[in-house]
Structure 1
């Protein structure tokens, strides 16, 4: 199998650092040449700039970042994305289909197919109120983990890392709001992008209803694989499963 470069894109109010050691896990696979975790504008190393109000602008920002990566431009490139990052990946695939050999979407939702109470479940709204009420970075990140992860061991393993990220590069509330606005406004392209796509989803996601991913899979006739117990943070709760499914999807 030809070695592939991966670009990983995060979701709402998250940054590249929240992938933890998952990037290294991907890069250690025989099928991977290099793996790059990129930050959306307004997050991570770009936390001081304003987040765009459209997914299209985010996609153009990420495309500019991809063009600057120290990689062989002729090597196959796969996007591995979650949630809001998956909306950006869809837009990139629509605008630059020739650039990507495959798009992997995890726990994705789009307004044109799913109602708001599925895209962000009622329990998640309640959790977000609790998160915003926390005064310390540790308590806030612990509340986030309780919302997005169903794996207590994994939560305990990354809590201190997420706390440090929050202390160093906590996203501005205005940027989180701007991301929410962009996500709410995003609509699917009229035509499915030409490059191959696959969806991974969590049946037990308590943030985004799994029906959102299933509706997109049905609408565009995209293969979908679901994990029975992982939460929204699929790569945190079930990293080996994700890597196994990535390998399977690349062999098709």
Structure 2
């Protein structure tokens, strides 16, 4: 994998978030990555229907998300292959991108991603789905963004000290470019159809053993399919970048070192 230590152009990363989230939800992860993984540049992008792309209709297929990103960020791609760091639904987008346009992507890191290799009740735990739907309905009736995000954080963040902080920050996003329910539904439809392609680039698969939203075995099945190992965080939740960004950055740094040295 190309690295800026060996050349003049910094290794560039595109970061992709998951279901119902946007680039702002990476929080301090980007700054931690910049510190722990020097000589790399990180660009957090929004999928259609989220963040700065809030006014667009979310695609009903994973491939259409890829096509949108490739068109909008063509200038970034012209500088040479990039790496992808993606969580959950973002991992599906990353896998499709890597498969259909392999010359554009040097490697990928997938966090807590699922696919049709796993049954629906493992891809989204029914208790979590019901809890989040109930919270969404209550939030709509009461107009409370904080109550909704407190419920979301309660399911995806296991660090109790981080839950309230994350919920307050996420609720603040509702003052501008907040997520629409239609986007959430359309993203769910796209995710439900995702079947993993074959990939040839270097991969790092990461999961959270205490994920209460998506069964960690979903990542393990993808690892078997792609003949890769899984690096597991023992106590983090689904939103690993929020729970432990330091661990994530260090894990990526170690993986990059292995790629450069050829170690296994």
State the TM-score, normalizing by the size of structure 1: 0.93
Distance (whole Å) between structure 2 residues aligned to residue 17 and residue 171 of structure 1: 12
Q: CA deviation at 1:194?
A: 1.7
Matched residue, 2:180:
172
The structure whose Rg is larger is: 2
- 1:78 equivalent in alignment to 2:91: no
- 1:123 Cα deviation (Å)? 1.9
Aligned to 2:64: 57
How far 1:30 sits from its partner (Å)? 4.3
Q: Kindly report which structure 2 residues correspond to 1:176-215, keeping only aligned pairs within 5 A, or say none.
A: 176-189=184-197, 192-215=198-221
Look up the match of 2:224.
218
> Could you tell which deviates more after superposition, 50-59 or 3-12?
3-12
CA distance in 2, matches of 1:153, 1:65: 37
Which residue does the alignment assign to 1:48?
Answer: 55
Q: Which runs of 4+ in 1 moved over 4 A?
A: none
RMSD (CA atoms): 1.5
CA contact 2:99–2:199 (8 Å) conserved in 1? yes
Equivalent residue number for residue 122 of structure 1: 126
CA deviations on 1:127-182 (whole Å, 9 max, x unpaired) are 21232122301111111100111011122322222111123222111111000000
> Of 93, 99, 124, which aligns to 1:94?
99
SS at match of 2:176: helix
1:148 maps onto 2:152 in alignment: no
Q: Pick one of 24, 27, 38 that aligns with 2:34.
A: 27
Among 142, 163, 168, the alignment partner of 1:160 is 168
| Matches of 1:183 and 1:13, distance apart in 2 | 12
Residues 53 and 179, structure 1, Cα contact 8 Å, conserved in 2: yes
1:218-242 CA distance string (max 9 Å, x none): 1111221001100000011011110
Cα distance in 2 for residues equivalent to 1:87 and 1:30: 24
